[in-house]
């Protein structure tokens, strides 16, 4: 199985109120992901609140995760506003033993296509690690076109893309990117639609829920990738209530609270992000899978 395939499980990054990584809690989460059968750890993604964490603490997080993940690779997020910062983060991740990189085109002023292209080329050239394009237009306000992805696929170390679920036909979206970049691994985020993405032939499920429920998520990914729709549907049904809440409220606040409910950390979201209210917490408790 290639690096960017199967289930890539994304844990939260437990932080103190001062923004320091609680490495013991992070190691516990990573060990659970590995024991649950995930194929990789997606560290410092949006679920991992990477943009709220300093360079030094992001490096500490990579080191802790790599030490905890004995048999599966760690894919480290290196997104930053400035290109030089992202290059430095990539080099830090490589030095701490990350197996691959993940990067979104973070911005304040919306980026132009050529700016994104040059940004990715610079970061991809900064290390020998394979890099996964992180397309997250909901936060970055930038949409990757198949034409741009085709250009980026020619960069030797760019190996994969993490796509959001499309608003229309998923199979057509996958086919368009597959035609544009046939050598890239293509995966999706948006947990509620990833069963269908894998059944349609996507290579990877980049999963928020996998960071807390890796055993069931891993089984779901395996069934869908094997084309076993009945088993995939059965396993996906265990997440139905959680998918409903994710679609209504987003996963970030919910998964942090779920980690606290399960006793995996006492960490809260970094301010100014706030937790969920009591009513939503009770709804979340009622739908959490085993």
Q: Please identify every residue annotated as catalytic.
A: 134, 162
Round to whole Å and give the CA distance between 218 and 221.
5
Give the residue from 198, 159, 174, 140 showing the smallest Cα distance to 2: 159
Q: Bin 19: left if φ > 0, else alpha if -120 < ψ < 50, else beta.
A: left
Burial, 215: exposed, middle or buried (Cβ in 10 Å; 0-12, 13-18, 19+)?
A: middle
For 55, residues 6+ apart whose C-beta sits below 8 A from its C-beta are 85, 88, 89, 92
Give the residue from 2, 48, 28 showing the smallest Cα distance to 207: 48
Count other Cβ atoms within 10 Å, centred on residue 214: 25
């Amino acid at each position: 199985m290639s690096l960017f395939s199967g289930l890539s499980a994304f844990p939260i990054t437990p932080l103190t109120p001062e923004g320091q990584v609680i490495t013991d809690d992070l190691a516990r989460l990573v060990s659970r992901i590995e024991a649950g059968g995930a194929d990789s750890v997606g560290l410092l993604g949006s679920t991992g609140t990477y943009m709220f964490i300093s360079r030094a603490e992001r490096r500490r997080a990579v080191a802790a995760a790599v030490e905890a993940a004995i048999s599966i690779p760690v894919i480290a997020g290196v997104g930053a506003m400035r290109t030089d910062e992202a290059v430095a983060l990539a080099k830090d991740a490589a030095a701490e033993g990350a197996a691959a990189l993940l990067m979104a085109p973070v911005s304040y002023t919306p980026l132009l296509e050529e700016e994104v292209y040059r940004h990715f080329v610079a970061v991809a050239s900064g290390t020998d690690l394979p890099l996964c394009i992180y397309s997250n237009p909901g936060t970055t306000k930038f949409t990757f076109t198949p034409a741009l992805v085709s250009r980026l696929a020619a960069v030797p170390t760019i190996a994969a893309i993490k796509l959001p679920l499309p608003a229309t036909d998923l199979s057509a979206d996958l086919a368009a990117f597959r035609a544009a970049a046939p050598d890239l691994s293509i995966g999706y985020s948006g947990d509620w639609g990833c069963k269908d993405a894998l059944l349609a032939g996507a290579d990877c499920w980049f999963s928020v829920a996998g960071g807390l429920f890796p055993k069931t998520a891993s089984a779901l990914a395996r069934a869908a990738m094997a084309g076993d729709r009945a088993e995939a549907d059965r396993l996906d049904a265990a997440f139905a209530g959680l998918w409903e809440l994710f679609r209504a409220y987003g996963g970030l606040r919910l998964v942090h609270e779920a980690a606290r409910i399960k006793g995996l950390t006492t960490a809260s979201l970094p301010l100014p992000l706030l937790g969920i209210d009591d009513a939503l917490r009770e709804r979340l408790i009622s739908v959490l899978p085993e």
